[in-house]
Amino acid sequence: MRLLRSAFGLSAALAMCIVGTAATTLSAAARDDAEDRPYLALGDSVAFGYITQAGFEYINPDNFVGYPAYIGQALRFNPVDASCPGETTGSFLSSSAVDDGCRAYRAQAPLHVPYASTQLAFTTAFLRAHRETRLVTIILGANDLFLLEDSCAGDPACVAAGLPQALALISMNMETILSRLRATGFQGAIVVANYYSPDYNDLAETGIIQLLIRR
**143-147 own/partner pairs: CB under 8 Å, 24+ apart:** 143/44, 143/86, 143/87, 143/88, 143/99, 143/100, 143/101, 143/102, 144/88, 144/89, 144/90, 144/100, 144/169, 144/170, 145/3, 145/170, 145/208, 145/212, 146/3, 146/5, 146/100, 147/88, 147/98, 147/100
Percent of the chain with pLDDT over 70: 83
So what's the pLDDT on residue 167? 95
CA–CA separation, 138 vs 16, rounded Å?
Answer: 15
What is the domain count for the chain? 1
- In tens, the pLDDT along 29-46 reads 444 555 578 999 999 999
Least trusted range by pLDDT, from 63-77, 84-98, 111-125, 193-207: 193-207
- Who wins on pLDDT, 189 or 33? 189
So what's the pLDDT on residue 18? 53
* CA distances from residue 71 to 19, 62, 67, 104, 170 in whole angstroms, order as listed: 6, 16, 6, 28, 25
- Who wins on pLDDT, 196 or 149? 149
> Quick one: average pLDDT of 80-103?
98
Q: Is the pLDDT of residue 120 over 90?
A: yes
The CATH number linked to 135 is 3.40.50
Domain that holds residue 95: 5-213
Least trusted range by pLDDT, from 16-30, 47-61, 83-97: 16-30
60 contacts: CB under 8 Å, gap ≥ 6: 110
Model-level pTM greater than 0.75?
Answer: yes
